[in-house]
Chain A
């Protein structure tokens, strides 16, 4: 049976309460009659034989590219870059799709007698991964073969000795990327395309770039004009990355891009209720919901987090394409849209969404308030094509506990950002002009980024910019169930109950508002026709 497409439910009196993620827990909320709930499409069927599909993709590349085996020769410098653990979310069950791809690439390289092979984790300004995390992504065989010999590296955007400036784009943007990657005879990039924002030229131009290069598109102006950054054709973030990617190509860097897409089998069977429509929950689903939500609610947050972060997703490969970057990405995007797109007619006055315990930047860590902001206003708000789901001046209601909790190892600069910067202003432009440089060039943050497992000092700023388009568009943001003090620091309102939140929202959008709920998991992208 083919998977069911996305679905828009019109809430009536008989509709059961709707599931909301609420950080490390869930909420069941009864939405007003007439509200819309957008349900994601069901998971696409996986490729029957992933290994053969990967081999076939390597040997039958798309675009202007030769088969991988013909690009490999004995004395070459080969660099294999790969996406870090911010993808997919949650981390997938072993074997990770990157391991499957990289093992086949290395098999080919070994058969062609290539000795000089280096693996680079494309971190950009993300934190360095731990050995356990690298082993999970690459598998023990790859890790043990390369890590000991120093041939498994993590991109360092602050290492001047391993960065190379390739020039300026026609818009004056610096293109500075990993030197080893840029000076190799072949750079193979292995990607996981979880959402439509990922992949394409963004893989190399962002993943292997320096701060000097990244600041040209990770800034308030670009973000406000990326409508949305999940829609490549209307995203200035992507336009900038595409300009940089083409410059990288013109500079002679030969890239063989391998992009993979996954279906939306996000949670294992024990949490299957998360992926079902509420009225289709059977007794097992209801029992699992009651048991898990009660246990998570009664547990201290650190324990709930530990349990939830130990979940491995049963994602399955739905597509793998290799070859020239742009041609590959066109195929990938079609696959992503096929899995995630839901057609929606008309905007709404109030948009509601539940935020989960995990986002791209807190894998195995705490979802701090700045990341809550980024996940809601940056990621989920931007899961649209066309026009935003919520009208200009509308209200966004997010469900999340939003505690003032930080991980000092992974997110040290976030703490200062929250305590000092947000105490002064929440205006992205003001934050950018007044504070960014100091955080970006702070030697202590740079030291922690380069030698520890800390995100770069500028990272919380980028998180704030990711929400700039939503901040510009929305009339108000309400965090349902959020810690009032923390929420106010973010510049938002907090509400204890959904009815309180709706009453507060009506003060902004007027009486009898329309309401739409973005139901997740799994992820969906709204194709909104105004």
Chain B
């Protein structure tokens, strides 16, 4: 059948009632002042921390997310004993390989943190539409974090929440790994830890890249692991670079611990011979090539919905 969307659109618009049933036109004689954005980093998430919403979220996390995660990507949690005595609130800093990291971590952090934790999420990705912003802030307790530039509002919101006793899950890489290797941690976490005077708990998440990596079109259920490290406190004379590196090294060590064992990882750490999660630096075109893999031309007939291998 010859499908002409313009024709259909015209037909629909002629049969549809006009204003006020549809949005008004903007008179061409009136200059339009730029609308103040209420999305992105400016999205107001206060409502998502009110008690009724928190209660619904708690029920959702414990009653839906947690069982679903246990069924689809059953996690083994390590290192909980290291944070039993850690203070509340705290910042959880984890490597980031998949969209599954957020529900996995949010539903498996110790109970003393679980229902009073917000998740730093990319303002440009998770808060670019009203429905997305409402969904993520409502169901996951996400707060918008500006990834591409320094945003005072993002930082102030996270800081004020930490001061109010909310813990924060943050992925210091700033986005999911495109290739399985970790990316260098961004330094914003230093300011938060310093200003709110809270410890950073390093976390390593394993297995989610294989289940649903950034460029993966297929979800592959399988086991995952979470490894919590000891809380890290900002040293008095420690600068931003040193503290960020310390966090990243702690995550590297947690990874190595899962790959080997605790003793091997400890001895390797003492010798400073733990392999870094960050992959070899690729200069030139291959770096960009890897990053833009998702834009590659798809084979003809490829469906958006994975049909399985």
Contacts and interface: CB of A to CB of B under 8 A. Distances in A.
B36 to A, nearest CB: 9
Top 7 closest pairs, chain A to chain B, by CB: A16-B24, A286-B20, A15-B27, A14-B25, A10-B29, A16-B19, A279-B24
Given A17-B19, A28-B19, A278 B24 contact: yes
A279 B30 contact: yes
A15 B25 contact: yes
Interface in A239-296: 278-281, 283, 286, 289-290
B20 A281 contact: yes
Contacts of B26: 14, 279
Nearest to B19: A16
B287 to A, nearest CB: 45
B228 to A, nearest CB: 45
A12 B19 contact: no
Nearest to A37: B27
Nearest to A16: B24
B21 interface: yes
B1 interface: no
B28 interface: yes
Most buried by B among A11, A16, A281: A16
A15 B24 CA distance: 8
A289 B27 contact: no
Contacts of B27: 9-12, 14-16, 279
A9 B30 contact: yes
| Category for how many chain B residues contact A | 10 to 19
Nearest to B36: A1
B296 interface: no
Contact of A290 (B20, B23, B24, B28): B20
Nearest to A11: B27
A286 B25 contact: no
Interface string A12-35: 101111000000000010000000
Nearest to A19: B20
Interface in A452-506: none
B21 A286 contact: yes
A16 B30 CA distance: 12
8 contacts: A9-B27, A10-B27, A11-B29, A14-B25, A14-B28, A28-B20, A286-B19, A290-B20
Most buried by A among B21, B27, B28, B30: B27
A283 B19 contact: no
Interface in B1-56: 19-21, 23-30
Contact of B29 (A12, A280, A289, A290): A12
Nearest to B26: A279
Interface in B135-187: none
Contacts of A283: 23
Contacts of B28: 12, 14
Nearest to A1: B36
Contacts of A281: 20, 24
A289 B20 CA distance: 8
B13 to A, nearest CB: 15
A281 B18 CA distance: 14
Nearest to B29: A10
A100 B25 CA distance: 44
A33 to B, nearest CB: 10
A367 to B, nearest CB: 25
Given A9-B30, A279-B30, A290 B21 contact: yes
A286 B29 CA distance: 22
Contacts of A15: 25, 27, 29
A216 to B, nearest CB: 48
Contacts of B30: 9, 279
A9 B30 CA distance: 7
B39 to A, nearest CB: 15
Nearest to B32: A279
B263 to A, nearest CB: 62
B265 to A, nearest CB: 56
Contacts of B25: 14-16, 279
B147 to A, nearest CB: 29
Contacts of B29: 9-12, 15
A87 to B, nearest CB: 32
A290 B22 CA distance: 11
A278 B27 CA distance: 10
Contacts of A9: 27, 29-30
